[in-house]
Amino acid sequence: MTHDFRVLRSWLFVPGDSERKLAKGWSIGADALIVDLEDAVAGERKTVARDIAADAIAAATRGKTIVSIRINAIDTGLAEADIARTFRCRPDAYVLPKASDPADIRQVSAQLAALEAQAGVEVGSTAIVPIVTEHPRAIPRLESLCSADARVVAIMCGNEDLAAAIGARRVKDESGTMLEVFRVVRALALLAGSAAGIGIIDSPVVELAATDVLQRESEEAAAMGFTGKLAIHPAQVAPVNTAFLPTAPEIEQAQSLLAAARGHAGAFRFEDRMVDVPHVRRAERIMALARAHALA
């Protein structure tokens, strides 16, 4: 892979059948776009959306923006055609919704390998980003889903489909705080993704007017170790981007710690405390994020 998906903060959904929104999406400032062929597209427009999306992506000046395409779930029977019709625009990744079986990820990977070979591009260069929390069947398999294939560079969390699948009446309480089951699933996904060393993208805030909830969730997600957050409206992109950036003091301390770590194989004293490998890895991650966004 030529991109580090762990430094992508905001992932903005854009309807795959809207030429106007697709044209605008590149200028909003999201680190990654998710051109959506699934929930954002009505059933009767699923077929036409493939070509609209592929044409828009092919014609765009991408710059540094990563572009992915969310296909329909495997069990709809639409996923294979979604990929076949859009591969010509060479997206950086495909987002696989409702991923609950590693075999589904490997099925998508095999199709991508055939298309890459046919197109004469590097086999394995197209990433897969599964959404791994949309069905209760997926939760015990999180570790397997994260390691199902070498193409899996990140995972995404989604609450609304999980709520529907388990019969939950709501995802959050009156204050905008996630109910316990969704907090637990979110934490489990974070741990599984972190263990696999891949990006972990937090679920979106669907309450568009609740800017305080967006701010709180974004800051909390960044503090916990999520690498990014889904956005469903352009106005959510800037707050998410800001929340996931390291602060100037964090960058300065990370630089100092890494400088002090040179020549130390194990634990050592730094600023009157003992630090070791986990602290060095955290500092390395902060600096990777800072460099990716021209802060260092």
Domain ranges of the chain: 5-244, 249-292
**pLDDT confidence of 1, banded at 50, 70, 90?**
low
Long-range contact set of residues 244-251: C-beta below 8 Å, sequence gap at least 24: 244/9, 244/10, 244/218, 244/289, 245/9, 245/289, 245/290, 245/293, 245/295, 246/286, 246/289, 246/290, 246/295, 250/286, 251/286, 251/287, 251/290, 251/295, 251/296
Residue 183 vs residue 281, higher pLDDT? 183
Please tell me the CATH code under which domain 5-244 is placed: 3.20.20.60
User: What are 270's strand-pairing partners?
Assistant: 273
Alpha helices in the chain (DSSP H): 19-25, 46-59, 79-86, 102-119, 142-146, 160-166, 180-196, 211-224, 237-244, 248-261, 277-292
Task: Give the tens place of pLDDT for each residue, 24-40.
Answer: 999 999 999 999 999 99
Q: Does an H or E element contain 36, and which?
A: strand 32-36
What per-residue confidence (pLDDT) applies to 164? 96
Q: What is the mean pLDDT of the chain?
A: 95
Interval 45-87: pLDDT, tens: 999 999 999 999 999 988 889 999 999 999 999 999 999 999 9
How sure is the predictor about 97, in pLDDT bands with cuts at 50, 70 and 90?
Answer: very high
Give strand pairing partners of 13: 34
> Over the stretch 208-222, which tens digit does the pLDDT of each residue have?
999 999 999 999 999
Give 136's Cβ-side CA count (13 Å radius). 7
User: Six-digit token pair at 296?
Assistant: 């260092």
C-beta of residue 11 within 8 angstroms of C-beta of residue 230: yes
